[in-house]
């Protein structure tokens, strides 16, 4: 029995690079908990305009009215009275990398952010705890009229545009943690791509949470105007502590007529993190929204990117993968609303679970009465690496139009001992055989990621195979 277990054993994701901690050197920390006074102090620290101060207080009121979700994984261990909702690092936002404080700079250097900027990115924003500490955009991108800045700057410099769109797709009443976000949000990115402009190389924001017992609540707002295109990359990580951390960010994406947006995310949160993120896109006529998602960290995740296909011929594609190890419950999936004629969506999800980890895929498809000719295909595949792990698929379909085409398929399996034996008979070591099977399973996702993130994902899933026998 031991030999069988060894044949199919795969190491946990190696998180050593992400678990390096910096000494907390904050210039300001909010008190623990969540009160009107704390929310007001955050607003004052950020010099919010009057409408934003009022919005925060109204969101707090809604937060107190709403109940914690009970339909998903347990959130036991998350107590808002213990969470610090705002930690400002001891630096202002810098436009030159050399001016970022050494300790923060070293963290991002270890994570490869400056190198990625130099080699393959049009612009980078780096957030540390609650604020963006570095931001830079290539001059050739600026010259196209592209706006890429932190959300605090956007609230001041592009106030009318922000006010028109901010938390209009994801409203505070959506759920309790959306309301929490509305009350205490800080940091994040604002992007506007003018009509007809194609940004040929990606923009990237990286979110690093360092402080123990803190929350991160960044807000990302992207508007890709008529006929424009953009690829935006989001990376997230945090070191492991023995206290709960919370991530409740919000992403709002507006894809105008004929525009295209690809939004790629790799999340490497630590296993003390509750990841309760909300992402939503509005897609107009002939627009295309592409989601690429990799979830490898956190203690508990609730993550379901949603697309509203509101214009004729609007399209959405979702490609995602999760890796749930010991002590992790990753509840992820995707939602789509077909609200116009000839809209189409395709969702492809893969999950890997081991050592008692739990992966759940939820899909929600709504075919509205106006969705004549709409098409939707949902596919999810799960690979369980031992008998202690769990994988569930929970599809929901709300079909209000007979003239639509919709399908769902799900597959759950384990690494076959026969396959391991066959590969070893062809000259591969047991570790290489395991690595080949797991990497082959994940390969369709990896090829959709930018090169440096594909390499990172392969390392996260595969490395430490050697020496795992026994």
Report the alpha-carbon distance of residue 445 to residue 414 in Å, rounded.
19
Q: Residue 97 falls within a domain, yes or no?
A: yes
In a domain, 233, yes or no: yes
Does residue 415 sit within a domain?
A: no
- pLDDT tens for each residue of the chain, 470 residues long: 333 334 344 445 554 544 544 544 454 567 788 999 999 999 998 899 999 999 999 999 999 999 998 889 999 999 989 888 877 665 555 556 566 666 565 666 665 555 655 555 566 666 666 566 666 677 788 889 999 988 988 999 999 999 999 999 999 999 999 999 999 998 889 999 999 999 988 887 776 776 667 778 899 999 999 999 999 988 766 655 556 788 899 999 999 999 999 998 888 777 888 999 999 999 999 999 999 988 877 889 999 999 999 999 999 999 998 888 888 899 999 999 999 999 999 999 988 888 888 999 999 999 999 999 999 999 998 888 778 888 899 999 999 999 999 998 888 777 777 888 888 888 888 777 777 777 777 777 767 766 555 665 666 555 433 333 32
The burial class, CB within 10 Å (0-12 / 13-18 / 19+), for 37 is exposed
Residue 64 within any structural domain of the chain: yes
Task: State which residues form the domain around 72.
Answer: 26-303
Q: Is residue 57 a part of any domain in this protein? A: yes
Residue 468 covered by a domain: no
Residue with tokens 């940091």: 187
pTM of the full structure: 0.86
Q: Give domain status of residue 246, yes or no.
A: yes
Contact 395, 366 (CB under 8 A): no
Pairing of strands 87-89, 26-29: antiparallel
Domain count, the chain: 1
In the sheet that holds 405-414, the strands lie side by side as 131-137, 123-128, 203-208, 229-237, 260-268, 288-295, 315-324, 344-353, 375-384, 405-414
């Amino acid at each position: 029995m031991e030999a069988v277990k060894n044949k199919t054993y795969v190491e946990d994701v190696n998180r050593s690079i992400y678990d390096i901690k910096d000494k907390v050197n904050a210039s300001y920390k909010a008190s623990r908990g969540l009160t009107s006074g704390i929310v007001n102090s955050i607003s004052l620290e950020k010099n919010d305009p009057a409408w934003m101060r009022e919005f925060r207080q109204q969101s707090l009121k809604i937060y107190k009215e709403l109940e914690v979700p009970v339909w998903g994984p347990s959130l036991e261990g998350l107590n808002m009275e213990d969470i610090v909702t705002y930690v400002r690092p001891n630096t202002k936002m810098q436009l030159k990398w050399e001016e970022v404080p050494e300790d923060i700079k070293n963290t991002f250097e270890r994570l490869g952010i400056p190198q990625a900027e130099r080699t393959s990115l049009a612009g980078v924003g780096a957030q540390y705890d609650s604020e963006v500490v570095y931001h830079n955009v290539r001059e050739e991108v600026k010259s196209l009229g592209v706006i890429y800045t932190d959300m605090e700057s956007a609230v001041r410099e592009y106030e009318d545009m922000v006010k028109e769109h901010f938390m209009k797709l994801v409203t505070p009443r959506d759920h309790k943690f959306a309301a929490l976000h509305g009350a205490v949000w800080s940091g994040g990115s604002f992007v506007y791509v003018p009509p007809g402009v194609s940004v040929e190389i990606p923009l990237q924001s990286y979110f690093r949470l360092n402080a123990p017992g803190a929350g991160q609540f960044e807000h990302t707002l992207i508007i890709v105007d008529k006929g424009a295109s953009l690829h935006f990359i989001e990376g997230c990580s945090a070191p492991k502590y023995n206290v709960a951390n919370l991530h409740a960010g919000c992403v709002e994406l507006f894809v105008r007529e004929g525009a295209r947006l690809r939004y790629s995310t790799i999340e490497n949160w630590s296993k003390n993190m509750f990841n309760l993120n909300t992402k939503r896109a509005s897609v107009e006529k002939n627009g295309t929204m592409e989601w690429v998602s990799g979830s490898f960290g956190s203690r508990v995740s609730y993550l379901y990117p949603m697309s509203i296909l509101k214009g004729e011929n609007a399209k959405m594609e979702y490609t995602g993968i999760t890796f749930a190890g010991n002590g992790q419950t990753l509840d992820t999936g995707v939602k789509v609303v077909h609200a116009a004629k000839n809209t189409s969506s395709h969702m492809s999800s893969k999950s890997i679970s081991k050592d008692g980890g739990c992966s759940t895929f939820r899909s929600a498809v709504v075919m509205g009465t106006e969705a004549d000719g709409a098409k939707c295909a949902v596919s999810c595949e799960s690979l369980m690496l031992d008998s202690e792990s769990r994988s569930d698929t929970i599809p929901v379909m709300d079909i209000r139009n007979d003239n639509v085409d919709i399908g769902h398929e799900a597959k759950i399996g384990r690494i076959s001992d026969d396959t391991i034996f066959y590969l070893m008979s062809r000259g591969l070591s047991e570790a290489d055989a395991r690595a080949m099977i797991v990497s082959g399973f994940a390969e369709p996702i990896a090829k959709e990621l930018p090169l440096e993130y594909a390499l990172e994902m392969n390392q996260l899933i595969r490395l430490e195979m050697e020496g795992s026998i026994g």
